[in-house]
């Protein structure tokens, strides 16, 4: 008796003998095709350069700070001070019940006295705690970035060392830039890069605590990247924002100046000028929170106090404002149903079936 697979093998034997030859030819064709096409490493290089640049440049956005570096309102501020390091934990595509449960876990943590209501004092304490989490994250990131710009590991970074790393992230040869600086030769950079360098240099000198030695320690480098960590650098950031918004040169801001956009920050200035929401939001912020003495003028001191993320008085005001947004029964507290209903305000994600689910989640 001949097993079927033996008979099959005997019929296909001649063709099986050709298999190694066919595989060899196929491999040769693929190899020729691959060698004929140049390898595309540009996207990889670009990603690496962008990553390096992001690691050493001060961020445009600071979590837990009410204004952006360019003077825009921080649109995600409420979520940042409510969620802290769990900021990315709520996704529109996430399973709704899981997201609701997670939000109710946060509610329980804020509700210290477990009366199923969140008071302004409880929310203030929570805001301060979550802001501290953002501070800790910034410190950890800064340590990593400091090591990237401190090649000799001596615990200090000079402006020239930083400049070499910055220009290298822009595509310049690190060796050529270092040699040019050492020989005091002029560096050939485009106008935009030169402007960025000058702004960074101003910021570098501001971060250099007296007595100035033009060397930044790890702590000073943290202030360079994150001005909210230093009173002096926060003051410098405020000064920059006032300079961008101040149209009459009096070094303070009127309401018309604050509700207009910094020059050149948007492509369609006319379209942004008629944005009612922009004007409404900034007007409210100016009149209710920033202008503390309500004289119609915001000084640099008032703006600094408003932007200070560790200001407990600001945290209490913010807590009251956040409660007022969702306080439908007007009892000056937040209840589970209200937090679920206004989940988009607190988390950035809209959770459906909030009322039906509240008892289920508790």
Which helix H or strand E contains 277, and what residues bound it? helix 276-285
Q: Does residue 294 fall inside a structural domain?
A: yes
135 belongs to a structural domain: yes
Q: Which conformational region is residue 114 in: left (phi greater than 0), alpha (psi within -120 to 50 degrees), or beta?
A: left
pLDDT digits (tens, 9 = 90+) for 283-296: 999 999 999 999 99
C-alpha angle with apex 328: 323 to 333, nearest 5 degrees?
40
In a domain, 39, yes or no: no
Residues in the chain: 362
* Contact in structure between 204 and 274 (CB atoms under 8 Å): no
pTM for this entry: 0.75
User: Would 103 be classed as within a structural domain?
Assistant: yes
Number of domains in the chain: 1
Domain that holds residue 90: 76-156+217-259+272-358
Domain assignment of residue 132, yes or no: yes
User: How confident is the model over 54-87, as pLDDT tens digits?
Assistant: 568 899 899 999 999 888 899 899 999 999 988 8
Residue 289 domain flag: yes
Decide if 108 is inside a domain: yes
Token pair, residue 35, equals: 């060698």
Residue 273 is predicted with a pLDDT of: 53
Position 226 in a domain: yes
Residues facing residue 118 across a β-bridge: 334
Tens place of pLDDT for every residue, the chain, 362 residues?
433 333 333 343 443 444 444 444 444 434 344 444 344 444 444 444 455 555 688 998 999 999 998 888 998 999 999 999 888 778 766 677 888 899 999 999 999 999 999 999 999 999 999 999 999 999 999 999 999 899 788 999 999 999 999 999 999 999 999 999 999 998 889 999 999 999 999 999 999 988 888 899 999 999 999 999 999 999 999 999 999 999 999 999 999 999 985 454 555 555 555 567 788 889 999 999 999 999 999 999 999 999 999 999 999 999 999 999 999 999 999 999 999 999 999 998 776 554 445 445 44
């Amino acid at each position: 008796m001949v097993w079927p697979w033996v008979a099959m093998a005997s019929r296909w034997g001649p063709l099986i003998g050709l298999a190694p030859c066919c595989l060899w030819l196929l491999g040769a064709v693929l190899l020729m095709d691959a060698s004929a096409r140049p390898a595309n490493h540009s996207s990889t290089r670009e990603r690496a350069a962008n990553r390096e640049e992001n690691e050493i440049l001060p961020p445009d956005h600071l979590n837990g700070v009410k204004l952006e570096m360019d003077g825009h309102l921080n649109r995600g501020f409420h979520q940042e001070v409510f969620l802290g390091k769990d900021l990315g934990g709520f996704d529109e595509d996430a399973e709704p019940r899981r997201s609701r449960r997670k939000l109710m876990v946060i509610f329980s943590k804020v509700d210290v006295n477990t009366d199923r209501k969140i008071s302004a004092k409880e929310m203030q304490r929570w805001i301060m705690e979550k802001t501290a989490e953002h501070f800790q994250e910034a410190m950890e990131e800064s340590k990593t970035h400091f090591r990237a710009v401190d090649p000799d590991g001596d615990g200090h970074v000079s402006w020239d060392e930083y400049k070499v790393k910055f220009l290298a992230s822009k595509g310049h040869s690190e060796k050529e830039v270092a040699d040019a600086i050492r020989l005091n030769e002029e560096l050939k950079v485009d106008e935009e890069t030169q402007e960025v360098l000058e702004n960074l240099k101003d910021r570098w000198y501001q971060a250099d605590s007296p007595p100035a030695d033009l060397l930044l320690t790890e702590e000073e480098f943290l202030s360079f990247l994150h001005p909210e960590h230093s009173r002096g650098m926060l003051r410098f950031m405020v000064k920059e924002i006032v300079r961008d918004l101040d149209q009459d040169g009096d070094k303070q801001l009127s309401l018309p100046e604050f509700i207009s956009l910094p020059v050149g920050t948007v492509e369609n200035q006319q379209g942004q000028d008629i944005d009612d929401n922009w004007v409404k939001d900034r007007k409210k912020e100016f009149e209710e929170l920033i202008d503390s003495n309500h004289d119609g003028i915001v000084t640099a001191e008032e703006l600094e106090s408003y932007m200070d993320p560790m200001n407990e008085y600001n945290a209490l005001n913010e807590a009251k404002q956040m409660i007022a947004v969702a306080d439908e029964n007007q009892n000056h507290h937040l209840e589970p149903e209200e937090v679920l209903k206004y989940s988009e305000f607190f988390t950035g994600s809209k959770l459906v079936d909030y009322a039906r689910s509240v008892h289920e989640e508790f």
